[in-house]
Structure 1
Amino acid sequence: MKKHLLLVITLLSASVVLTAQEKKNEKKADKEFISADVDKEIQGDTYNRWSIEVDFGQSKGGKPYADGYFASDPDKFMGGFQFNHYGIGARYMLSPKFGLKSHLSYDDIKKLPGSRSLDFKVQHIQLTFEGVVNAARLFDIQEGAKRFGMLFHFGIQASQMMPKMNTAAGSNKGRKELNGGIVVGITPSYRIFNNVSVFTDITINSNVRQHFNWDGSYSDRSNNLTGSLFTTSLGLSFALGKGKVHGDWAIIKDKKDKEIDELSNRIGEIETLMNDSDKDGVPDYLDAENNSIAGVAVDTKGRMVDKNNNGVPDELEKYIDKTITNNNNNNTNTATVTNGMLEQLINDGYVAAYFDANKTKPTNASADNIGFVLNYLKNNPDKSVQIIGYADELGSSDYNNKLSGERAQNVKTILTKAGISPSRLTIVGNGIDSSVDKNSEYARRLVRKVIFKIK
């Protein structure tokens, strides 16, 4: 019987090695390794497939038993517990979802201390060859499960039973019998480190060639050589290989999905480039001044036309002149009305400086608008201006209050260096402007600004 057991073990071990070698020579699947955690990328283009598993726990023979012998204590919760199972195994994942494993275990099946069963003791050595299914990947929940995992395993097993003592039911001490059958189990797990995880395993064995009862006596013919064994255990799994994480935990995307994502990103970029924030007919990617006043003529680069370089767009200047001419032909009053119109444009927010996210320096396109205010102040030396800064809703209130104040201060510095006395300039940091949808990137651009109030 020793020879038979050795032959079975040799054949099963050879099958594991040959299968692993064949898979090693196959082409890589059309997959790409991304990371171990959804929110943390691990650099590398491979993941570990091999793992070594060690476990210990309890094995209980379900049936058959001779009269007076049993494994559980009816007076204890769950029938009682004793450590009598020790195992070691190896697993190789052919793909992120499916793999193979072999497991060698030793069980010391005996009377539960304190139970009313008669004494018995049986040595049980078992070797399994099984298929493995990564349930988390099979049901596509690995990203949500994060560090938790779940494996199903099922296959065939060969074992040797040997009574270690003579009993009233039979004197079979030292005799050995070979068994065979099927095995099925479930293995919940939790990853401690990238290549180390803890697991618990629940396995059921169904024998189809069991001659002995679990107490060591020969089984009755009516049992038809059947028997069952239940094992619960706790163990550690160690991943082997050059990769930084085992395939059980890696986030792996199909390359086709990646190509689709890249195409979607490109389309999104094109849509972004074609946006026209200030609705002047020039796409943002060509627009050198994407905050031009609505209705004012622009050139091919989106800049408001100002041929005489006086800081006032020509079309706006024509509108002011026409309005003034129609309402008053008095030159003195014309100047007053003109200043009033310009002051209204400034105070109503038509003239503003804009900023990129988390920046305190105005965008290049804001130079014309700051120049507009500069020209107004130079032409009206009795006027002063209040410079009011704003920020979008992203970030804390304290941060945005500080940011809006710094934006106002930078605009004041620009005007001061351009020749305006600091005494005519006051700054206010108004913090967050919540008038737009904070989830819209382009809407947020409109509130990262500095506006002006003429005093």
Structure 2
Amino acid sequence: MRKSLLILSFSVLLFSTFNVKAQEEKTDEYNKWTFELNAGQSKGIKPYSIGYFGSDPGKFFGGVTINNYNGGVRYMFSPKFGLKLDFGFDRLKNLSDESLEFEMQNIRIGFQGVINGARLFDIQESLGRFSFLFHGGVQVAQMTPKMGINEGRDEWNGGVMFGFTPEFRITKNFALNADFTMLSNVRQHFNWDGAYSDANNNLAGSMYTISMGVSVSFGAHKIHGDWAVLTNKQQEEIAALEKRVGQIENNMTDSDQDGVPDYLDVEPNSIAGVAVDTKGRMVDINQNGVPDELEKFLNNTYVTNETYNSGNNNAEMMAKFINDGYVATYFDFNKKQPTNVSTEGIDFIRTYLLNNPESTVDIIGHADEIGKTPYNDKLANDRANNVKEILVKAGIDPKRLNVVSQGEDASVDKDSAGARRLVRRVTFKVK
């Protein structure tokens, strides 16, 4: 009955591994070859003659001589399933004074299916450097007693084997492991103590091994095949779609709320409420540097038709317009030079100063809150100095220009990229 259960268990394991392979999408993004080498303790469970028995497995940790060596070469057809050709060498002895003396040599070759359990249960990310394998298959072994009346007599037998192997990755392609393997022979005539049974009396022996060792992964990829981070085609498509959606959302941002998304907006810092064209530029038909809608508002608010041409009223109106912050020039993140589309503000100040030669202007630099305050103070000052240099090269006496740094502007939400664009600027104050 026990023999039948072992064979059934092995059949289920093989079916499961091949089923996993069939469902796994093919990918080449991992190292497929792994070499393993282990050493530890093996114990024959049964059969024994009267007066003989195996060692106490607890003594393995008390300094018992290593009596098992095993290793193998593994090839993973998919991230979850592979096959392994392995070997084992056992030297079974009585390790207790209560047992009669015996010594049995067991040399085996096995062919097994291997399942990466961490990937099978999709828990590899949570395990980190840990992983674990299931393995099972068939094995053929040669038993040779090394003492007693049957010393030197060989017998070939065969059966099934299955086991469990926890792993811990040390370096990119090198890992430690501990392995527990159970072996059951469906044909065996030797007892583990070396006694031989009649050929018609099949003893169906069993043994187990506990060992520790290393595994080394080979291939072109930098990480051990059992830990390679993999994404299937569907996951890659979903990630690409999410990236495209994110890009669309970013493109549709309208920082200056003028109805034109930033990716189409030539002037993404237009004054709120001022009419813009299809490219986001404030409408200025007469090309005087003042948006037409704002110009009309100023005319209606500050001057009458009769006094519009009066120099004093016009100068006062423009000075108030400047001092109220309607004229500004803007900067990209961490940049000291104005953006190409915001030089109109500088041109407005130049025109005002040329028409009002007695006036002077403070050039006030600002920065957003991203970064350290001392750095932002200097950045704001550099921005103001660069605007001053443009005005000087455009014919304005530097004595009429005073640079002021106001550093970080905390008036907007620093977590909003759109809002931060509005405070990376230089404003002006007429004196």
Short-chain TM bin = 0.7 to 0.9
Q: Residues 426 and 129 from structure 1, CA distance in 2 versus in 1: closer, same or farther, beyond 3 angstroms?
A: same
Q: Which amino acid counterpart does residue 37 of structure 2 have in structure 1?
A: V
DSSP 3-state at the match of 1:446: helix
Contact 1:401 1:429 in 2 (8 A): yes
Alignment identity in percent?
A: 49
Aligned ranges 1:28-427 → 2 under 5 Å: 31=26, 47-65=30-48, 66-67=50-51, 69-72=53-56, 78=61, 81-112=64-95, 117-166=99-148, 171-217=149-195, 225-239=204-218, 241-242=219-220, 245=223, 247-325=225-303, 331=310, 334-335=313-314, 337-346=316-325, 350-380=326-356, 381-393=358-370, 395-397=371-373, 399-423=375-399, 424-427=401-404
- Map Cα deviations across residues 333-376 of structure 1 (whole Å, 9 max, x no partner): 73465145314422xxx433332233222221221223333334
Mapped partners of 2:66, 2:376: distance in 1: 62
Contact 2:93 2:101 in 1 (8 A): yes
Q: Residues 417 and 271 from structure 1, CA distance in 2 versus in 1: closer, same or farther, beyond 3 angstroms?
A: same
Q: Which amino acid counterpart does residue 234 of structure 1 have in structure 2?
A: G
**Residue matched to 2:4:** none
Mapped partners of 2:46, 2:428: distance in 1: 89
DSSP 3-state at the match of 1:250: coil
Q: Which moved more, 1:219-228 or 1:258-267?
A: 219-228
Mapped partners of 2:377, 2:51: distance in 1: 84
Contact 1:72 1:79 in 2 (8 A): no
How far did residue 223 of structure 1 move? Answer: 10
Q: Residues 445 and 157 from structure 1, CA distance in 2 versus in 1: closer, same or farther, beyond 3 angstroms?
A: farther
Q: Residues 80 and 219 from structure 1, CA distance in 2 versus in 1: closer, same or farther, beyond 3 angstroms?
A: farther
How far did residue 421 of structure 1 move? Answer: 3.8
Q: Residues 425 and 109 from structure 1, CA distance in 2 versus in 1: closer, same or farther, beyond 3 angstroms?
A: farther
Contact 1:111 1:118 in 2 (8 A): yes
Q: Which amino acid counterpart does residue 322 of structure 1 have in structure 2?
A: N
How far did residue 218 of structure 1 move? Answer: 5.2
How far did residue 104 of structure 1 move? Answer: 0.6
How far did residue 146 of structure 1 move? Answer: 4.9
Contact 2:188 2:202 in 1 (8 A): no
Contact 2:368 2:414 in 1 (8 A): no
DSSP 3-state at the match of 1:341: helix
Mapped partners of 1:443, 1:433: distance in 2: 11
Q: Residues 398 and 382 from structure 1, CA distance in 2 versus in 1: closer, same or farther, beyond 3 angstroms?
A: closer
Q: Which amino acid counterpart does residue 135 of structure 1 have in structure 2?
A: G
Q: Residues 399 and 90 from structure 1, CA distance in 2 versus in 1: closer, same or farther, beyond 3 angstroms?
A: farther
Q: What TM-score do you get using the length of structure 1 for normalisation?
A: 0.76
Q: Residues 206 and 253 from structure 1, CA distance in 2 versus in 1: closer, same or farther, beyond 3 angstroms?
A: same
Mapped partners of 1:161, 1:396: distance in 2: 75
Query: CA-atom RMSD, angstroms?
Result: 3.6
Q: Residues 425 and 62 from structure 1, CA distance in 2 versus in 1: closer, same or farther, beyond 3 angstroms?
A: farther
Contact 2:179 2:212 in 1 (8 A): yes
Q: Which moved more, 1:50-59 or 1:327-336?
A: 327-336
- Map Cα deviations across residues 139-182 of structure 1 (whole Å, 9 max, x no partner): 3334454544322212222222222123xxxx432233334333
Mapped partners of 2:384, 2:173: distance in 1: 53
**Residue matched to 1:14:** none
Mapped partners of 2:377, 2:124: distance in 1: 42
Q: Residues 94 and 77 from structure 1, CA distance in 2 versus in 1: closer, same or farther, beyond 3 angstroms?
A: closer
Q: Which amino acid counterpart does residue 225 of structure 1 have in structure 2?
A: A
List gaps (5 residues or longer) in structure 2: 1-20
How far did residue 100 of structure 1 move? Answer: 0.9
How far did residue 92 of structure 1 move? Answer: 1.3
- Map Cα deviations across residues 60-118 of structure 1 (whole Å, 9 max, x no partner): 334444535331276x5856543222223111111111111121111122244x87654
Q: Which amino acid counterpart does residue 214 of structure 2 have in structure 1?
A: G
Contact 1:400 1:432 in 2 (8 A): no
DSSP 3-state at the match of 1:287: coil
DSSP 3-state at the match of 2:111: strand
Mapped partners of 1:304, 1:71: distance in 2: 92
DSSP 3-state at the match of 1:235: strand
Q: What TM-score do you get using the length of structure 2 for normalisation?
A: 0.80
Mapped partners of 1:425, 1:32: distance in 2: 65
Q: Residues 144 and 351 from structure 1, CA distance in 2 versus in 1: closer, same or farther, beyond 3 angstroms?
A: farther
- Map Cα deviations across residues 206-261 of structure 1 (whole Å, 9 max, x no partner): 3343444433345899996342313222123242x455555433333222332333
Aligned length: 405
Q: Residues 93 and 340 from structure 1, CA distance in 2 versus in 1: closer, same or farther, beyond 3 angstroms?
A: same
Mapped partners of 2:381, 2:46: distance in 1: 81
Mapped partners of 1:434, 1:121: distance in 2: 86
Mapped partners of 1:115, 1:386: distance in 2: 98
